[in-house]
Each structure stands twice: as structure tokens, then as C-alpha cells.
Chains A and B, each alone.
Chain A
Amino acid sequence: MSRSQILRENIVKESPRDDLIRKDRFPHIWCPGCSLGTVLKCYVEAIASSNIPIDKHVVVSGIGCTGRIAGYIKLDSYHVTHGRPIAFAEGMRIVRPDLEVTVISGDGDLVTIGGNHFIHAIRRNVDINVFLVNNFIYGMTGNQMGSTTPIGARSSTSPYGCPEYPFNLPLLVASLGAPFVARWTTLHVRQLADAMKRALQVKGFAFIEIITSCPVGFGSYNELREGLDFIKLFRDSCVVDHNADLTKVGITLRPGEPIVLGNFVDREVPTYHDLEKEVFKKAGWLK
């Protein structure tokens, strides 16, 4: 074969991962430049390379842009009410130890309206995976600020800049004793997929904060109008530090203040299910 022959891009109708996505629903509803599809891609790769049978994976999501992820993944998938996917997942996981239940939902859903369920699920250490996609804003409802919006960032309900401190999620989750805590962006696709794969293996509450691009929502209010602006932001201002001091990883998005990424926590912590076994023993059900 000589180099004079032209190798062209091949125009096709399906991708090799179409067995794990609901291809009849593609293209999805997410905006151009939004990276939620990338999160989906990373998750698909993570479950495909996990040792857990595909049919035992369950995705639960709530309301919002990220909440739609359940509708695009070809697994048993449940799209529940706003803020409640973690409570739904807990109920499911507690009665069915054979299921690998993963909650994929947004920041507004999981830690703002659903904040109470979030902290209590971590405290209990129920064996679920929570992949929280943080776009710093309520996208679907029209770009209102939320509990992850950085101070000073503008949104449709913070036209003068957000006056509230945002959550430092890795610190919050680690402080509650979670066995696995990580943060990656949608630019760090392979690290993200690896972290997801690890989260699936971890026993107990495994948490990944995924920083994503949101050009039409957060970006349009904060000079990040294209998806590529976010990619550049992530490329230029992220530092990877697995051993970071979590008290210092809050996100400001101010110049010179990096977004710290890494697999911050990976430890063994007895799970709710381990402790529940003790209850069964004391009650005489288990010997």
C-alpha cells in the first residue's frame, strides 16, 4: 500500500458503544459544547471494562440537564423527582445487593435540593456510586445560580454576581467519611473513566465530582461562550494533586486559583450493608 492512496473518514450510522446507549434517542437534547455526553461516554467505558455484568448496573438520576443521562444509557435506568435519586438508589441497593447502583445527576439536584439525602447517604455509607456533574448552575431551568456557583459568578438570578459561598464538595464528602472521593473534569476523560471504574469497585459511597462545560448556561453569563472556552479553562487552570489538602480545593474560577483534580480519597470503610448484617445477627436472622 502506498501513501498516495487516500484514507478517508468513514461515514457511518452507528458507533461501537451503541449497545450501551439508547441510540434511538440520539442525538440527545444537550447543547453543543456541553460535555454531559462525554460524562456518558466515560461511564459507558467504565462499566464496559468493569467486571460487573452489564445487566446488574442500574443508573438513577434526578431532574436537570444531567438528570437526562438515565434516559440515554441502555441500562435499567430510573429518572426520578428533583433531588431524590440518592434516596431512590438507597432503597434499591439496600434490598438488592446484587445490583451496582450509580446515581448520575447534577449539582443542583444532588447537593442543593437533594443536599439532605446526599449527606445522609454518605454518613450511612450505602454502597452506591454518586457521579455528580457540576456545571456551576441550574442549566435546564434557565441558568439560575445554585449552591456550587462560585462567588461573583453571574447567572439569571445573580445578575450582580453570586453573593454566596459555594460548596467545596470533595471536602464535604471526605469529612463525612466516604471511602472514595475524586474530582475530574470532562477534559480528563481517561482519568475520569478510570476513577469511575475504581468507584464501581469501591465498597461504600463512592463520589466523583465531574466539572463540566456549560457554554450555553453558565458560560454565556461568565465569558465562556463556547465549549472550547471551557476546554481551554480546564487545560490551563487544572492541577492534578491526589494528595491535595481538601480544605483548599474549593473552586473559585478566579485567575491564578487552580481547579484541583485527583483521586483524593480511597480507603476502606465498613458499609451500611456490613453494619446491617450485624443487625441481622443480633435479630437472630443471620448466624
Chain B
Amino acid sequence: MRWDIRWAGFGGQGVIRAGEILGRAAVKQGLDSAMRPMYGPEKTGGWSRADVVISDEPIIFPLIVKPDILIAMSQDGMNRDGASLRKGGFLLIDGELVKEIKSSPSKIYSVEATSIADSLGRRIVANIVMLGAFAKAFNIVDPEILLQTIVESFPRAVELNKTAFRLGMEKVEEV
């Protein structure tokens, strides 16, 4: 089974870092993964995208044409990449930032990742909240392994990230 997962957002939201962690966790779990980061020429605030492929077979084509899952962390990301979602695919959004859906998903999951991160005092952990939501919503990567990968990636903010991840898992809901 191959999953094409596209994360879309703007620079500074940690989209690419989230994609990297997701891919690393998948590899840790014994799956194959490829992650392709893309971003606009702006240093911050431009568009940002991470295309993560996860498969239980060796990945031949590592890029994504029509994602199965779109994770939109901003309206801009939705505007840019919403239409690329495969018909009947799944959508995971930051429910506060994304107001208008531009794809035709079979299911939409929502979590207010940015607000939750703000409530923890660090907006930069919005991507970790989103990873928690992802782990809960989709049964692709083992949440334990994903959390472990997050902890290894940020050894100086273990508790913060654990909390962010847990809140993401708790607060995600289907809409």
C-alpha cells in the first residue's frame, strides 16, 4: 500500500520538518519513504510544501502527482494545493486557518493546530500538533514511533513536543 501525503502551508510553519519527521518515522517502522520539500524563493512567509510518500514496498516514483492525503496548514496552502487532492482523498486542516475547502475529499479532519500551539506558548510546534492529529486520523505510521522520532529530533524540547503531539491526537475531529 502506498500513501501519497502532501503537506501544504507557508514558510515558518515547519511543514518540511514535519514531512521529514513523518518520513523518518515510516522508515524507522520498516516502511519505505521519500520526502520532497519545495518552497518559494521567499526566506519566510512564502509557500511551502512537503510531499511524503510512504509505502510498504520499495518506492519507485518518489514524487506525488495526486495526493491521497492533503494536510493544509493555511488557506494559502489550500488555495495552492487543494485541487491536487485525489478525488475521494482525505483532508486534514488547521480548522481555524483554513476556511474554504478547495478539494473534494471523502473525509475531512480538522484540528486547530496553530491555536493549540499558541496556547502552549510556542507557535512553532503547530506542526507537531498536526503530526499528532495525523497519527490519530490515519492509521499509517505507529503513533509511538512517530512520537519517538519527534523526541529524537528535538532533544531540547521533549516535554513541549510530547504535549503538542498528545493535544493533536486528542483534539483532532472529523468534520
Question: CB atoms of A and B under 8 A apart anywhere in the complex?
Answer: no
**Chain B interfacial positions (CB closer than 8 Å to A):** none
